[in-house]
Structure 1
Amino acid sequence: MTSTIAVILVLGGLIFFHELGHFLVARVLGMGVKSFSLGFGPVLLRRTVGRTEYRLSALPLGGYVSLAGESPESVEEDTDFPESQRFMLRPAWQRLLVVLAGPVFNFVLGWLIYWTLFLAQGQVTLYQHPVQEVFDDSPARAAGIEPGDRIVAVEGSKIYSPSDLLTTILFSRDEAVSLTVDRAGVLREVLVQPAFLSEADKNDEILPRPKIGISFSVEPLTVPLGLDLGAGAALHKTVNAIDMTFKSFLMIVEGRASLKGVGGPIMIAQAVGEHAQAGLADVLLLAAFISVNLGILNLLPIPVLDGGHILFFGFEALTGRPVNELIRRMATYVGITFLLALMALTFYNDIHRILFS
């Protein structure tokens, strides 16, 4: 029961916050909002304020915003709103801002969750990695790393998550990784070139796994909140999550990672349920990461997604003319087809993972 509630609250909350971004920016810019719903499906409660109907719907997994004149087809239909409030009749840059607000709010939500956790704990937890063993003929050995060294920073940044080192190496993309090593109190910068240490690592069916050839432990180090009360640390974690998500998408597009690792709603629900058993903090950390993923996903330049609309409105803002209607329709059909194929892939992967993993 706890897991089910956690899944509803996390997924519903993230999508709702995304829609809240669209709603607030539309209102600030003076656009008409026909309805704003918390949840989907049959309407349980409704109240009209001005020309906007606020709804509480039966399915709590998200929400939606309906703007006046939000499509070329509805511009002439929404006569309850003056032309100045109809979405498609507003300048392209304003429409772009409304669409962009959804993904931006997902990033802001991720940052707010991280910051809230730091404030609740009254401290920021950093991590260090004492090196226990350096393997022969490994990149770490070649770089001069020795047992007893302590890795205290990765790519010049403090380590805010125990997985930062591993994910940085995993997504290094054939580039050297900068590590800050503490040896007997003396800090030194070390450049290490990750490599495949075995055929199994190189040919992993999901994601090839470059390594640097060390074994290490994870040592948490708590520090009091600074003058920014942890806001900077929260921003670092948010930027890091954005970077890792972007690199994951890029590796899939480049064929460097397998589509077998792509998951959908079932995998997300399983992850939220598992984290719910570990406590509220774990659920919130996962929610922040999923929020960032949702923001990146919606920014992909695919028609139907926010990124596709941003592409169209950006073109219109730069050239002063809208995208050709035929091109827009064809691109939309292609986008819908792509999303349906992606949904089918994620459901297949999720079900296959449940049945055979």
Structure 2
Amino acid sequence: MITSIIAIVLVLGGLIFFHELGHFVVARIFGMGVKAFSLGFGPKLAGFTSGQTDYKLSLIPLGGYVALAGEQGEDEPDFPDDKLFSNRPAWQRLCVVAAGPFFNFLLAFLIYWFLGLAQGQAVVLPLVGGVLPDSPAAEAGFVKDDLVTAIDGVPVDSWTQMVETIRAAEGKPLVVEIDRAGQVLTLTVTPKVNTYKNLFGENVTVPMVGINQAGQVRFEPIDGIGFAGALQNTWYMSKVVVKGFVSILERLIPVESVGGPIMLAQMVHQSAQSGFFDLLGMMALISINLAIINLLPIPVLDGGHILFFGLEIIFRRPLSDRWKAMSMRVGLLLLLLLMSLAIFNDVRRLLS
């Protein structure tokens, strides 16, 4: 239990700290004034001052923060005007804000890179973890723990290869060879072609048979230093997260599945129980989630500030304080509603 609590603190705190580190690094690159950079929140435990920046170790180890000079447009008598965040060009302010989510993507990439070097490339096995009711797979006779070994006579050794083969069939019947507890069986399944709208509102057709993966993997040696594989994993998981958000908006995934801090803590706890590498993999996934959530164009989030600075660059003048203040209030209300929904779902799951 103590180990899981430490893992939760290190993972969630580390992700937030790395996010703030992105803001700090880019602000310093541009020569902006930084009043404070803290590891943790709350009362200061230890620290030192270098130049005009107070570096602190604070009591509550759940993340950290960076305080930029002139961040809210206020006067800073201890800093020259040219070092104030609010006096810098909009494109520099945009880069500083965008650096937080970028560092979360970077952290996920570095984790996947390390996992590739330490374990090899993870390949998901074509093992059935579940069969959807009334689906083509259910009608064909698929059951949990069936291992797909070939489709139309072509050997299949990964879940990705199996999915690509099903999609390439475009709804035509497929002869699937499976291994069921050591017994070789042949099933015929006709994929159902589903149509949905992607992130850009375009209609996309996807043949599906109605099976879920079991999640079992094998590890293969990587080519070279694994840079490309880490990049592919980061991009793939980012697409999965974005697709999840879009599916919630389209009500393909129920809003009851949205989780908050309790759900995150449970996921980290379960990963910590499974081992160090699983914990790192979960950390990478949460880091990608954090990056994408922060990029949502909601005022008070990084994405909202990026939107403001982007509009300032386009129209060559800052947005009015009145409009920004009103947007911030609306964004804060929306964020509070989303947080309330997530926490409500967390509590409901605990009680049930």
TM-score bracket, normalised by the shorter chain, equals 0.7 to 0.9
Q: Quick one: which of 102, 120, 125 aligns to 2:122?
A: 125
Shift of 1:250: 1.1
Please say if 1:276 is aligned against 2:277: no
**How many percent of aligned residue pairs carry the same amino acid?**
48
Residues 220-254 of structure 1 deviation map (CA, whole Å, 9 limit, x = unaligned): 44332212x11211111111111011111112222
Checking the alignment, whether the CA contact within 8 Å between 2:130 and 2:211 is kept in structure 1 is: yes
| 2:253 counterpart of 1:252 | no
Deviations along 1:41-78, one digit per CA (max 9) or x if unpaired, are 11111210000000100000000000000112x1x2x1
Q: CA RMSD in A?
A: 3.4
The change in CA–CA distance for 1:191 and 1:330 in structure 2 (over 3 A counts) is: farther
Partner of 1:203 in structure 2?
A: none
Gaps of 5+ in 1: 160-164, 184-189, 197-209
TM-score by length of structure 1 reads 0.79
Q: What residue identity is the alignment partner of 2:285?
A: F
Amino acid at match of 2:36: S
The alpha-carbon distance between structure 1 residues 130 and 4, as it changes in their structure 2 partners (threshold 3 A), is: closer
Take 1:335 and 1:70, find their aligned partners in 2: how far apart are those partners?
Answer: 19
Mapped to 2, the partners of 1:130 and 1:268 lie a distance apart of 27
Instruction: Say if 1:301 and 1:311, in contact at 8 Å, map to a contact too.
Output: yes
Runs of 4+ in 1 over 6 A off after TM superposition: 130-137, 139-142, 215-219
Give the equivalent residue in structure 2 for 1:23: 24
Q: Which residue of 2 aligns with 1:265?
A: 261
Q: What is residue 306 of structure 1 aligned with on the other side? A: 302
Q: Which amino acid aligns with 1:88?
A: S
Residue identity opposite 1:337 in structure 2? L
* Paired amino acid for 1:20: L
The answer on 1:235 being equivalent to 2:208 is no
Residue type matched to 2:66 in 1?
V
CA distances 1:252-276 after superposition (whole Å, capped 9, x unpaired):
2223222111100011011111211
- Distance apart, 1:125 and its partner CA: 2.7
* Alpha-carbon separation, structure 2, partners of 1:8 and 1:259: 27
Write the distance in 2 (CA, Å) between the matches of 1:218 and 1:345.
29
How far apart, CA to CA, are the structure 2 residues paired with 1:22 and 1:133? 43
Letter in structure 2 aligned against 1:309 = H
Tell me the equivalent position of 1:109. 107
What amino acid sits opposite 1:45 in the alignment?
A
SS of aligned partner of 1:55:
strand
Contact preservation (8 Å) 1:252, 1:259: yes
How far is the alpha carbon of 1:116 from its aligned partner?
0.7
Provide the rounded CA distance (Å) in 1 between the counterparts of 2:54 and 2:281.
33
Structure 1 CA distance, aligned partners of 2:213 and 2:222? Answer: 27
- Structure 1 residue 218, shift from structure 2 partner: 6.8
Q: Is the 8 A contact 1:152 1:182 kept in 2?
A: no
C-alpha separation in 2, matches of 1:350 and 1:130 = 30
Task: Please give the residue correspondences for 1:5-154 in structure 2 after superposition, counting only pairs within 5 Å.
Answer: 5-72=6-73, 74=74, 76=75, 78-121=76-119, 123-129=120-126, 138=136, 148-149=149-150, 150-152=155-157
CA contact (8 A) 2:126 2:158 kept: no
Corresponding letter in the other structure for 1:4: I
Query: Deviation digits for residues 304-328 of structure 1, max 9, x if unmatched?
Result: 0000000000000111111121111
**Correspondence for 1:223 among 220, 224, 229:** 220
Amino acid at match of 1:113: I
Question: 1:269-348 residue pairs with structure 2 within 5 A?
Answer: 269-348=265-344
Q: Counterparts of 1:189-200 in structure 2 under 5 Å?
A: 192-193=191-192
- Deviations along 1:264-304, one digit per CA (max 9) or x if unpaired, are 00110111112111111111110000000000000000000
| Candidates 345, 349, 355, aligned match of 2:351 | 355
